[in-house]
Chains A and B, each alone.
Chain A
Amino acid sequence: MTIRPLFAALAVVMLAGCAADPAPNEQMRLTQQALEQAAAVGAVADDVPELKLAEMKLAQAKADMADESYKDARMQAEQAELDARLAEARVLTQKSQEQLNVLNTRITRLRKQLGDAQ
């Protein structure tokens, strides 16, 4: 009778062991992909602070993976993924802004020429 609670306690300990975070391999892959995508649209860590953050956090996540600190690795990788996605979005927005500026310049030039022509 006294042995039962002992089993229960053991089971809880074992479960706690099982419940430990698994290696976030999928998240690591996603993060890697997000960084590559940001680089693909022309984001450079020196110009976009979010990408710099993403790179640092990914490096930390890799170190955590090596240490088998999977929870830390996952959190670092999740943050790095969104940092990279934000970096990518910022670069794209900036590019669209530059395109708008070019269009505005052209329109101004056309208006001026039209003014001259009339």
Chain B
Amino acid sequence: MNRLTGGLLLSSVLLAGCASHPNSDTALQQAGGDFQKVKEDSNVLRIAPKDVIRAGESLARADRLSSYWGSGGDVVHYAYLSQRYSAIAREHTELVLNEERAAKLELERQRLQLALREAKLLSVQQQGKWLEEQIASLTTTQTDRGLVMTLGDVLFDTGQAELKNSANRTVLKIVQFLQLNPKRVVRIEGYTDSTGGEQENLKLSRDRAQAVADVLVDLGIDEKRIQVEGYGDQYPVEVNASERGRAQNRRVEIVFSDDKGQLGAAR
């Protein structure tokens, strides 16, 4: 570089001597200055080495021409090209540096997005606890079978397996609860009273349990999370002697697993 500066200086003197083109020495000096700056910038050298080389070549050409008589126009021309190459090198460098900065920021953005998502999930989980309390209040028995919710006889018409609309609110709560607790699974158990044949009762109890399961699946719960059992008139909760007792025995029970997906053994 010192040699080039020396050359520039020398050519300036020569040019001053010939004065064929009044602007040529200024142009040469400016181009030399610009080239010096890009050449000393390690980022520019790393990112736009070709542009730097072209800037140097054009400058050398301008410098060489400046020692000839009557070539002031050419000197200005090549000095101009050299300056342009230096400027292009700087722009290319800035572009790549911006892209590198953007890549870093993008990582940072993703990290923050993840953190925010986790924070939101945490607040949803806290909401889930509230819902869990709600579900707990709906469940009538907290036995060794785990959390059990009983859907009463009123939710089905006599002898029918179709779930009535009055069950909607309860069903929606179960769906929401299962969505907020993705690891929990359920077993839906159907029961009947002792009227009617054993096989009929087994089928009806199973169909009713399946009807509840179908609604849950329709509302977006993965069917892999739902077991369905029909127990017919087994395991009555009341004696079948009275109408009231029979009504109590006609039921669907939903057994919830713990939050790790461990479900009590089936009966």
Q: Nearest B residue to A103 by beta-carbon distance?
A: B105
Known A96-B98, A100-B102, A107-B105; contact A79-B119, beta-carbon cutoff 8 A = no
Chain A residue numbers with a CB within 8 Å of B123 are 117
**Which residues from 66 to 118 on chain A have a C-beta closer than 8 Å to any C-beta of chain B?**
75, 78-79, 82-83, 85-86, 89-90, 92-93, 96-97, 99-100, 103-104, 106-107, 110-111, 113-114, 117-118
**Nearest-CB residue, chain A, relative to B87:** A86
User: CA–CA, A100 to B101, complex, Å?
Assistant: 8
Residues of B within 8 A of A118 (CB): 119
A114 and B108 contacting across the interface, CB-CB below 8 Å = no
* Contact A78 to B81, CB < 8 A, known contacts A107-B109, A114-B115, A114-B119: yes
Q: Which residues of A contact B95 (CB under 8 A)?
A: 89, 92-93, 96
Q: Given A83-B84, A103-B105, A117-B123, does the pair A96, B113 have CB atoms closer than 8 Å?
A: no
For the complex, give the distance between the alpha carbons of A23 and B20 in Å: 26
What is the CA–CA distance of A86 and B95 in the complex, to the nearest angstrom?
A: 12
A97 to chain B, nearest CB (A): 6
Which residues of the other chain, B, contact A89 by a CB distance below 8 angstroms? 88, 91-92, 95
Is B99 a contact of A86 with CB atoms below 8 Å? no
A117 to B124, CA, bound (A): 12
Which A residues are CB-close (under 8 A) to B120?
117
Majority secondary structure, A binding face: helix
**Contact, CB under 8 Å: B102 / A93:** no
Residues 149-161 of chain B, each 1 if its beta carbon lies under 8 Å from chain A, else 0: 0000000000000
Instruction: Say if the beta carbon of B237 comes within 8 Å of chain A.
Output: no
A110/B102 in contact, CB under 8 A: no
Bound: A82/B77 CA distance, A: 12
Q: Tell me whether A113 and B80 are in contact in the complex, defined as CB-CB below 8 angstroms, given that A89-B92, A96-B99 are known contacts.
A: no
State in angstroms the CA–CA spacing of A57 and B130 once bound together: 74
Residues of B within 8 A of A99 (CB): 98, 102
**Which chain A residues border B115 with CB–CB below 8 Å?**
114
A93 near B84 (CB under 8 angstroms)?
A: no
The complex places the Cα of A75 from the Cα of B75 at a distance, in Å, of: 11
**Nearest CB of B to A55, in Å:** 15
**B94, CB-defined interface residue at 8 Å:** yes
A93 touches B77 (CB 8 A): no
Q: Does B85 belong to the interface (CB within 8 Å)?
A: yes
Interface contact B112-A93, CB-CB below 8 Å = no
Contact of B91 (CB < 8 Å), options: A78, A93, A103, A106:
A93
A41 to B91, CA, bound (A): 15
| Bound CA span A59–B26, Å | 27
- Interface flag for B116 (CB, 8 Å): yes
Known A82-B88, A107-B108: A93·B98 in contact at CB below 8 Å: yes
Taking Cβ atoms with an 8 Å cutoff, the residues of B that contact A are 73, 77, 80-81, 84-85, 87-88, 91-92, 94-95, 98-99, 101-102, 105-106, 108-109, 112-113, 115-116, 119-120, 123
**List of 9 A-B pairs having minimum Cβ-Cβ separation, nearest first:** A89-B91, A82-B84, A96-B98, A110-B112, A117-B119, A103-B105, A93-B95, A93-B94, A75-B77
Sampled A-B contacts (7; CB under 8 Å): A78-B77, A86-B84, A86-B88, A89-B91, A96-B94, A106-B109, A114-B116
Extra A-B contacts (15), CB below 8 Å, given A97-B98, A99-B102? A78-B77, A78-B81, A79-B80, A85-B88, A86-B84, A86-B87, A89-B92, A89-B95, A96-B95, A96-B102, A100-B98, A100-B105, A103-B106, A110-B113, A117-B120
